[in-house]
Amino acid sequence: MSFEIEVENIKCGGCAASIVKGLQVLDGVASASVDVERGCVAIEGDVALRPLVAARLQQLGYPEVGSVEGLASAKARAKSFVSCAVGKFSDSSSD
């Protein structure tokens, strides 16, 4: 099964890399991919994991669109900026 979650603050491939890495640690998530332009995270896993995935995305600084956290996401933007930078660094260090 698969599902998608639209999130705030995705700006680049570094953000996407941080999200994928951050979701791969969750039991039951077979894979994750990010569409940066759409601000959408696609998850291969049981739909019952959706609340857990949404909570993890929020921890990473990418709250779900329309959520209370997403509507008041100044702090989340700061977290996503750090996550973005870390993701960019991780991508370049693997080259």
For the whole model, what pTM was predicted?
Answer: 0.72
- What's the angle, vertex CA 14, arms to CA 95 and CA 73, rounded to 5? 165
pLDDT tens-digit map of 15-62: 999 999 999 999 999 999 999 999 999 999 999 999 999 999 999 989
What's the sign of the alpha-carbon dihedral 15, 59, 69, 7? positive
Residue 85: exposed, middle, or buried by beta-carbon count in 10 A (0-12, 13-18, 19+)? Answer: middle
Domains and CATH numbers, the chain: 2-76 (3.30.70.100)
